[in-house]
Chain A
């Protein structure tokens, strides 16, 4: 069955590239531009993976992450955090709140696609 990915970011330009990247990798792609939209989308149809930026309007990425993790029905959703801050403590906070991995902006699209694939095949940590 085709895996689905929800891409959450409020920057339209990066959203364009990420959408293209994920589609090319063969996933069903949905987009969200803020925290509320992301959470609604996840609750409606849980995706297999969320590419989650931390600095998004309404609810920040930490909150979305923690909300997903506190819902047992969503325990199979993988979360890959994308952050522009890149400080170690922020990454650690994301991981502590339930993210499965992280990538710092700017990132290599090739590596990002690989990370997503790993997480979806259950081989990534």
Chain B
């Protein structure tokens, strides 16, 4: 029982015992003495004994105090310091004066504490370094997976999905069916996988993989469960060498359905043409040989054969022409291309030159839709501009696009000399920076294109590059009138409405978010404008889960105005036959769950959601963060908080073809959010509650500013 009391209390009790013993022992001793003494000694004994007793008690109290002050208290505070060092702050310092009378205890304890702090520091640094490198590797891996043009799925040995990339979703054409932990065989036919895995497993277990040319990998062909796709891929076993077991496999694959079709088509064409060419060539050869034998005077015979010659030559020409046009149609579909808005493409290009003072580069003319691989085309245009700068001293460039009946064109016009065909050919012969290792000529070949430079008025020169017409009908007229910017408007109650409860104290870093964006027919939800596309991405543990995005076109049940089509690229045809908002919103609600909702100018998107939620019998009462407001908190020096401006400040590149698509903007906003969370910490905003409070302050400031 004594052990549970503190040191100081125990010492006190100890001295209290001595103090209590003084009157008892002294009193007892004097009483015995009084019995044996003659006369009347009692008053003396009482007087002197009592005085001695009191003096003794005084001494005991004084010694106790000395002990308490110089032994018990310092020991206790050293113990407290040590506890702080152990559990809270290894750098905590123990005062030198602490326990002066405790001999070597203080210096020894300080030495131990120092050693402990150093060890902690080293371990901390080591962990941080390792974490950083793991994080870097993870980011690299993610980037690689994202960029890969092949589908990748990683499964465990029970064929459950552990990881997949976006391309896998695209190729398989699945969305909700694919998810972490889901069985692979709900999407793909299981037979080939079981057979192939058995084969690889026995290769591994029997040790035959050592020295095997394919090690633990093999090719396989498989199909979707509904039989709609034939896929070709490679399975690579993941093994645990320590206990000789199989932990899973990596599957990389590509859709070969289309390629197979093309291959079969071109093979068939080749065979048919070869056969059909044999007929006219046979006739020609026979007729020529006969003609040599016919005597000169047989005019009629000669004419007959001459007729054959001209007829068959014509047939041969026609066959060749037919073959040429059919063959061109087949080859066109080999390189991955998408419909791109020229404004986005060319603006992405001008941004590359903005920091370069030696080049002025601007976009002019009406934007159009065209079809190309935007990455390599931007790299190609960039290359041409830099070449014109160094070799022709041109420094003012205008970029434009136009369209004809059969082609679209990208044009670069500069003030200065014309690049001759030979010069242009030389420029295009080099591998192009950021052009995926391709030369300019190869990029043009992939686009079935040619480039040339021609003189135009006022001593200017212009490079023209023909590209394909867009595949989808982007029907709306495209004009250069400036697009209206989404108005920022705030519903003051919006951010406050949710009762946060315990979530308010959660760290921003630890929360799950759904960052979303909606495209609409216009800016006035209360005036009949409707959602035409909604998309979202989830952020979990500071990672954007691009693979599990929500992305859905919505039939607004009204006409899509041309202006909306111009901004979003979504036309009436694209929303026809899509689900209605009452079907989409419940799915989105499920997708969101209890995550924190985030949007750029969230009030706008939330307004639309809240107007629709009653129809669907739902409530979006999740906490909401607005990246416009968060940006205003951390970047209070500027009032530029459009998504483009904010993304640019954080060097988040938005691919031109995805800007103003709901998913593209969601991804960009998600990137922005992660950067903002870092910066908010600098402003001492760490929890959701703090972030919302700071947002509300910004809203209040803006409301006041708006009054003046």
Q: Which residues from chain B contact A30 at a C-beta distance below 8 Å?
A: none
Closest to A92 in B: B466
Residue A57 is within 8 A (CB to CB) of chain B in the complex: no
Find A66's partner among B328, B421, B464 (CB 8 Å cutoff): B421
Cβ-defined contact, B466 with A106, below 8 A: no
Output the least CB separation between A75 and chain B (Å): 13
Output the least CB separation between B119 and chain A (Å): 70
Residue B448 is within 8 A (CB to CB) of chain A in the complex: yes
Find A97's partner among B328, B407, B421 (CB 8 Å cutoff): B421
Indicate whether A106 sits within 8 Å of B421 (C-beta atoms), given known contacts A87-B328, A93-B450.
no
Closest to A59 in B: B422
Indicate whether A86 sits within 8 Å of B324 (C-beta atoms), given known contacts A59-B422, A62-B421, A92-B466.
yes
List residues 406-426 of chain B with CB under 8 A from any CB of chain A.
406-407, 418, 420-422
Bound form: Cα–Cα A70–B454 in Å: 10
Bound form: Cα–Cα A60–B422 in Å: 9
Cβ-defined contact, B420 with A63, below 8 A: yes
Interface residues, chain A, with chain B CB atoms under 8 Å away: 59-60, 62-63, 66-67, 70, 86-90, 92-93, 96-97, 106, 108
Counting chain B CB atoms within 10 Å of each CB, which of A66, A70, A88 scores highest?
A66
Q: Which residues from chain B contact A66 at a C-beta distance below 8 Å?
A: 420-421
Interface residues, chain B, with chain A CB atoms under 8 Å away: 313-314, 316-317, 320, 324, 328, 406-407, 418, 420-422, 448-452, 454, 464, 466
Q: Which residues from chain B contact A62 at a C-beta distance below 8 Å?
A: 421, 452
Find A63's partner among B421, B451, B454, B466 (CB 8 Å cutoff): B421
Bound form: Cα–Cα A87–B331 in Å: 13
Find B464's partner among A87, A96, A108 (CB 8 Å cutoff): A96
Q: Which residues from chain A contact B421 at a C-beta distance below 8 Å?
A: 60, 62-63, 66, 97
Cβ-defined contact, A89 with B422, below 8 A: no
Q: Which residues from chain B contact A92 at a C-beta distance below 8 Å?
A: 407, 450, 466
Indicate whether A89 sits within 8 Å of B466 (C-beta atoms), given known contacts A62-B452, A97-B454, A106-B317.
yes
Output the least CB separation between A89 and chain B (Å): 5
Bound form: Cα–Cα A97–B453 in Å: 8
Output the least CB separation between A83 and chain B (Å): 12
Q: Which residues from chain A contact B317 at a C-beta distance below 8 Å?
A: 106, 108
Bound form: Cα–Cα A73–B369 in Å: 42
Bound form: Cα–Cα A92–B404 in Å: 12
Bound form: Cα–Cα A106–B320 in Å: 9
Q: Which residues from chain B contact A60 at a C-beta distance below 8 Å?
A: 421
Bound form: Cα–Cα A93–B420 in Å: 12
Cβ-defined contact, B452 with A97, below 8 A: yes
Closest to B454 in A: A96
Q: Which residues from chain B contact A70 at a C-beta distance below 8 Å?
A: 418
Of the A-B pairs whose beta carbons lie under 8 Å apart in the complex, a sample of 22, sorted by A's number, is A59-B422, A60-B421, A62-B421, A63-B421, A63-B422, A66-B420, A70-B418, A86-B324, A87-B328, A88-B406, A88-B407, A89-B448, A89-B466, A92-B407, A93-B452, A96-B452, A96-B464, A97-B421, A97-B452, A97-B454, A106-B317, A106-B320
Bound form: Cα–Cα A77–B549 in Å: 62
Interface of B is mostly: mixed
Cβ-defined contact, B407 with A89, below 8 A: yes
Bound form: Cα–Cα A104–B628 in Å: 60
Bound form: Cα–Cα A63–B418 in Å: 12
Counting chain A CB atoms within 10 Å of each CB, which of B313, B448, B451, B454 scores highest?
B454
Cβ-defined contact, B452 with A87, below 8 A: no
Counting chain B CB atoms within 10 Å of each CB, which of A87, A89, A92 scores highest?
A89
Cβ-defined contact, B449 with A89, below 8 A: yes
Bound form: Cα–Cα A90–B454 in Å: 14
Output the least CB separation between A50 and chain B (Å): 16
Closest to A60 in B: B421
Closest to B418 in A: A70
Bound form: Cα–Cα A67–B421 in Å: 9
Q: Which residues from chain A contact B449 at a C-beta distance below 8 Å?
A: 89
Closest to A94 in B: B452
Cβ-defined contact, A90 with B422, below 8 A: no
Cβ-defined contact, B450 with A89, below 8 A: yes
Bound form: Cα–Cα A89–B448 in Å: 8
Given contacts A60-B421, A92-B450, 12 further A-B contacts (CB under 8 A): A62-B452, A70-B418, A87-B328, A87-B448, A88-B406, A89-B466, A92-B466, A93-B451, A96-B454, A97-B421, A106-B313, A106-B317
Q: Which residues from chain A contact B422 at a C-beta distance below 8 Å?
A: 59, 63
Closest to A97 in B: B452
Q: Which residues from chain A contact B418 at a C-beta distance below 8 Å?
A: 70
Across the A-B interface, the 10 shortest Cβ-Cβ residue pairs: A62-B421, A106-B317, A63-B421, A89-B450, A93-B452, A93-B450, A89-B466, A96-B454, A63-B422, A96-B452
Bound form: Cα–Cα A70–B328 in Å: 33
Q: Which residues from chain B contact A88 at a C-beta distance below 8 Å?
A: 406-407
Q: Which residues from chain B contact A96 at a C-beta distance below 8 Å?
A: 452, 454, 464
Bound form: Cα–Cα A100–B81 in Å: 95
Output the least CB separation between B453 and chain A (Å): 9
Bound form: Cα–Cα A86–B323 in Å: 12
Closest to B313 in A: A106
Q: Which residues from chain B contact A106 at a C-beta distance below 8 Å?
A: 313, 316-317, 320
Cβ-defined contact, B450 with A90, below 8 A: yes
Bound form: Cα–Cα A108–B328 in Å: 23
Bound form: Cα–Cα A97–B313 in Å: 32
Q: Which residues from chain B contact A86 at a C-beta distance below 8 Å?
A: 324
Output the least CB separation between B51 and chain A (Å): 124
